[in-house]
Structure 1
Amino acid sequence: MARVVHDMAAGRTPISLLSVARVRATGASGYLAALLMEAGVVPTENFDRIRLEVWEEEYFGTLPNPTHRSLLKQYAAWIVNPRFTDAGHLSTKDESLRHRGSKAHLIAVSELLSTLDSLNLDLGTVPQRTFDNYVATHGRTGKQLTPFIRWARVRGLTRLHSEYQQSHLGTSSASDDERWAWAKDLLTAEDLGLNARIGGLLSLIYGTALTRVVSLRRDAVKLDGDSTYLSLGTEPIKLPEVLGSLVRRLLDTAPASLHDNNIWLFKGQRAGRHLTTAAIRGPLAPRGINLRSARNVALMILARDLPPSVLADLLGISIYAAERWSTHSGHDWADYPRVRITTEPR
């Protein structure tokens, strides 16, 4: 990146995110892109989208069939690339994961088209049974072809049917006692950084996904005397005193930003970006803490104790997810609206 910056300063390379994206992708290239945007040198754009478009240009150029190239370019432009809507250094999502997933998806679509080509078939002539066999023999990759097939069907390019894989909540291998033992460990684990401790506790206690945890903003925390409130959804949650004290310590020790717009509670190393999920999950793994299993337990217990509408407001999850967890917990809240209405004062 030092060479890239030198070439930009000397006028040999345009000062743009595209110039950085054309260099081999590394942590340094992502940092430079975020730094240029944070400093106001270039307009704020989603760097992962630009990187993906550069990769698409190179990859599509290697495809021998011009029809396939044209079809994939249209699909990428209309469906895949617009998913990167947030500005890169102000994103609330882990765009790097989406970037890798998008590349894998486009490669899977390309492989499907190549296979059909080798069978002297195309999207308009392939029998449904042949496509189903292809999906069945390609495992997870085959099942992820649904967005492309549905897009092609809307455009009248195929009559194939493809269904999204049903989402399963699954069962947890952790017990509630293990979950609280892990929480107790993190409350006193001074050998761990505050980011890992607080992020892990929020996931253990409230079942919050790490992607949501790391994207919390500083203004989600409200201080009221000795009480600390955190907004995961539309309704703030009063944190237990010991957890609230950790959050206050995090606010006091957060590193300074290049400017005065340090908006993230869990600030990352890259300019203007929040912490990655790996930075929280990594230190907890050696201690045997399974956040995914514990999160399932937390959500199941919370869904058993709280109606779906209340759960959705507190945790910031969709009402559909809250209802699914409620069903999974075995608790029926069908009479909750009636009970709530009848208990209100006249």
Structure 2
Amino acid sequence: MVYGRRELEIRGIVRLLEWLHDGGTSLTACTQDQLDAWIADGSSPRTLVRAFLQWTTRHGHSKPLTAPYCTGTFAAQIVAQDQRWALVRRLVAATQLTTTDRAVGLLLLLFAQPAARICRLTTEHIIDDGHRIQLRLGRQPVDLPAPLDELIRDLVQHRHGRAPRIAGPEPNWLFPGTYAGRPLESHSLGRRLNRLGIRLRVTRNASLMDIASELPAYVFSRLLGFFSQSTADSWGAEAGGFSPAYGAEAGRRTHGQWFMLS
């Protein structure tokens, strides 16, 4: 089904309000940082909420909020693939960075995971048999390449968040946040990556494009946790139409870069 601009605007507004509700907040309390994190986690149509936010701001239904103009040009919404792999190599080599920064950056760059999902990963998502480490994102777990595997193992074995532990059971967050019992917030993760020169939305779009060009949509959906098959299909179609030479070039890179990072 092809949606017009108005339908996409309405869908975007509904998804924004659902996202805020699921996060335990409201449009009235929403901050620009939270909005930026939501926009960065998705594709360019999310910016179509701009007119709605102008109305809510003008009538006092929200704090002053804004979204970028939606250009409608997908090519402007992704980073070059060479730039993406340069960022991967930098995180692999940058041992002076924190384990958290390197791990979240590689999860975004290699597996196209949105910030909100990365933040809510727990130790229950990790499968470690002592030889290899797998991450359960969708129905089928994926093998983690080095050095991401050891970074994740370190996060499982050692608590890296600043929050004190609370009495009683609490989720074993892979990325604990500042407050006890809470994971790292999406907007905080976004700020951390921005300091490393990694822009969430455009970098994730590039990751999605690359993966969609290499894997069938069915596999793409099961491995990366896209519960809507249509989402994976859409990215596969986008990858197929982005450039005549894109699929061939991605295929040449698959064995040379995807699992040879260290």
Name which of 10, 15, 29 aligns with 1:100: 29
Q: Would the alpha carbon gap of residues 245 and 201 (structure 1) be closer, same or farther in structure 2, given more than 3 Å must change?
A: same
Tell me the amino acid that sits aligned with residue 220 of structure 1.
H
RMSD: 3.1
| CA deviation map 1:153-206 (0-9, x unaligned) | xxxxxxxxxxxxx9x793334111111111111223233322222111101111
The residue aligned with 2:51 is: 139
Name which of 298, 309, 321 aligns with 2:231: 321
The runs of 5 or more residues in structure 1 that have no matched partner are 1-78, 87-92, 103-137, 145-165, 332-346
Secondary structure class of the residue paired with 2:121:
coil
Tell me the amino acid that sits aligned with residue 165 of structure 2.
S
| CA deviation map 1:244-278 (0-9, x unaligned) | 00001111221563234342111112122111123
Residue 330 in 1 paired to residue 240 in 2? yes
Tell me the amino acid that sits aligned with residue 184 of structure 2.
L
Q: Would the alpha carbon gap of residues 98 and 239 (structure 1) be closer, same or farther in structure 2, given more than 3 Å must change?
A: farther
Q: Is the 8 A contact 1:205 1:298 kept in 2?
A: yes
**In 1, Cα distance between equivalents of 2:51 and 2:184:** 32
Identity of aligned residues (%): 29
Q: Is the 8 A contact 2:120 2:173 kept in 1?
A: yes
The residue aligned with 2:39 is: none
Name which of 276, 282, 286 aligns with 2:195: 286
Q: Would the alpha carbon gap of residues 95 and 200 (structure 1) be closer, same or farther in structure 2, given more than 3 Å must change?
A: farther
Name which of 265, 270, 273 aligns with 2:182: 273
Q: Would the alpha carbon gap of residues 98 and 231 (structure 1) be closer, same or farther in structure 2, given more than 3 Å must change?
A: farther
Deviation at 1:96, TM superposition (A): 4.2
Q: Would the alpha carbon gap of residues 183 and 94 (structure 1) be closer, same or farther in structure 2, given more than 3 Å must change?
A: farther
Count of paired positions: 189
Q: Would the alpha carbon gap of residues 322 and 269 (structure 1) be closer, same or farther in structure 2, given more than 3 Å must change?
A: same
Deviation at 1:231, TM superposition (A): 0.8
Secondary structure class of the residue paired with 1:229:
strand
**In 2, Cα distance between equivalents of 1:229 and 1:169:** 36
Tell me the amino acid that sits aligned with residue 141 of structure 2.
P
The residue aligned with 2:172 is: 263
Residue 299 in 1 paired to residue 208 in 2? yes
TM-score (structure 2 length as normaliser): 0.63
**In 2, Cα distance between equivalents of 1:83 and 1:178:** 33
Deviation at 1:98, TM superposition (A): 5.7
| CA deviation map 1:273-300 (0-9, x unaligned) | 1111233222322332223212111111
The runs of 5 or more residues in structure 2 that have no matched partner are 1-13, 32-49, 57-69, 242-262
**In 2, Cα distance between equivalents of 1:194 and 1:320:** 34
Aligned 1:138-217 pairs, distance under 5 A: 139-141=51-53, 170-171=74-75, 172-217=77-122
